[in-house]
Amino acid sequence: MGLPSRKATCNSHGQDSSYFLGWQEYEKNPYDEVKNPKGIIQMGLAENQLSFDLLESWLAKNPDSAGFKRDGKSIFRELALFQDYHGLPAFKKALVDFMAEIRGNKVTFDPNHIILTAGATSANETLIFCLAEQGDAFLLPTPYYPGFDRDLKWRTEVEIVPIQCTSSNRFQITESALEEAYQQAQKKNLRVKGVLVTNPSNPLGTTMTRDELDLLINFITDKEIHLISDEIYSGTVFSSPAFVSIMEVLKDRNHENTEVWDRVHIVYSLSKDLGLPGFRVGAIYSNDPIVVAAATKMSSFGLVSSQTQYLLSAMLSDKKFTKEYISKNHRRLQKRQSKLVLGLEKAGISCLKSNAGLFCWVDMRHLLSSNTFEAEMELWKKIVYNVKLNISPGSSCHCTEPGWFRVCFANMSENTLKLAMQRLKLFVSSITINSQSHQEFKNSRRKARTNWVFRLSFQSFHDREQEER
């Protein structure tokens, strides 16, 4: 009678994924330049710590907002009291304006269509609850963010069916891959309720092409299903091609106020673009009034604090600040990404060409002992335990090809990144030397065997010649 619920004891959270296990190993032995210089460097965490000084500078110049004051008078009591789950109107207006600014003001957003949530995790789960039932399925292109196994499935009991993408076309979505995933779901007697994509992609660090976005719109139109576009990294696009929001595509195709218009939903957060994951500010944007109403009610389980909303509404309403922040943040991300790519190249490692995000999709297939996921895990363990770098193996992202890894670059100092690349270069050099030594040993054995066979043959010939004489 005292047993916990089935959900409490089920093992579908995904906490045993190598993605999370790497974090656990890091926490046991975290790198510190002074206190623990031989510890594990965290390169598995997609945080943006490159522009904190810009945020701190704004706070210093706006003490009233930081001190919860309005016109010099404290509003602490006002903010401390309960606010309804619709959110502060000033913050919702500031947030949708910021979302439009990130998208070059090519699209606008109605604050009445936005629902505030405690981060993108809560936003995605809430949307799944609103759109699907237990046993339904969503299609996700691989590789995808490992946390989706938890966010989308654990409590909702909705299934994920992968859209298999490969390196042959830079992991882009194809019509055949979409259709194959849909058919695979039907074979499993799963009703497909929609497709979920992350644009820009986590873990690829790339923006989706216009052809891919058009393909997705055509697909959900044909199948009469939903599309969730998780655009949490939309403000991290630091080089061409430019980011194109799914809302821009709908607008260009004149889909406003159509059935498709109501079946496309956006997830957003300030965790990556402003580097504020601890503030837990996420949002759902939907044109479907039924989804907006239901998600708003559900948001009471994960509200954003009034204090947070007040502070950020003042910050995001400062257009001079947001313009400067977006520009400088882009330049810093591009510079840091370039340093990672250069460091990898010096170590003899390449990566997928990227233009967004806080990470690179790194190709280490040539370092595998065999073309298997077992070999990938063997390499990953060496990198975590011997090299002392926590990176995320592609298998944790459901990649179909062993040997790919996600490596983050924006959550550490430039010196720490430099040290990480030095460690990796030494490791790759040791593998190369060992491989060469092994090959030389094999060659020497082969040469010795050839000489022995030659001597044996010569001796046999000599013996026969003597007998004939």
Four-residue CA torsion sign, 252, 258, 264, 266: positive
Query: How far apart (Å, rounded) are the C-alpha atoms in residues 255 and 312?
Result: 32
Bridge partners, residue 117, by sequence: 282
Q: Where do we find the tokens 């956006």?
A: 266
Q: Is 361 in contact with 142 (CB distance < 8 Å)?
A: no
Catalytic-role residue among 230, 273, 288, 363: 230
Phi then psi for residue 355, to 5 deg, are: -140, 10
Helix ranges (H only) for 352-413 are: 373-382
Look at strands 264-269 and 226-230 and give their pairing. parallel
Catalytic-role residue among 128, 232, 284, 391: 232
Strands of 114-117's sheet, edge to edge? 114-117, 282-286, 264-269, 226-230, 192-198, 137-141, 159-163
Q: How many CB atoms lie within 10 A of CB 398?
A: 18
Q: Is 54 in contact with 324 (CB distance < 8 Å)?
A: yes
Would you call 40 a catalytic residue per the annotation? no
Residue type at 197?
V
Would you call 223 a catalytic residue per the annotation? no
Would you call 246 a catalytic residue per the annotation? no
Catalytic-role residue among 92, 153, 193, 272: 272
Bridge partners, residue 350, by sequence: 363
Q: Is 228 in contact with 185 (CB distance < 8 Å)?
A: no
**What contacts 409, CB < 8 A, 6 or more positions away?**
43, 336, 337, 339, 340, 358, 359, 360, 417
Would you call 381 a catalytic residue per the annotation? no
Q: Which of 39, 43, 163, 91 is nearest to 421 (CA)?
A: 43
Query: How far apart (Å, rounded) are the C-alpha atoms in residues 185 and 137?
Result: 7
210-223 and 175-187 are packed helices; what angle lies between their axes, rounded to 10 degrees?
A: 30
Q: Is 247 in contact with 266 (CB distance < 8 Å)?
A: yes
Query: How far apart (Å, rounded) are the C-alpha atoms in residues 294 and 132?
Result: 13
Buried b (16+ CB within 10 A) or exposed e, 245-256: bbbbbbeebebe
DSSP 228: E
Catalytic-role residue among 19, 144, 145, 182: 145
Q: Count of alpha carbons within 13 Å of 189, Cβ hemisphere only?
A: 2
Give the helix/strand (H/E) hosting 56: helix 52-61
Q: Is 154 in contact with 134 (CB distance < 8 Å)?
A: no
Q: Which of 220, 318, 302, 292 is nearest to 269 (CA)?
A: 302
Q: Report, as residue numbers or ranges, the catalytic residues.
A: 145, 230, 232, 272
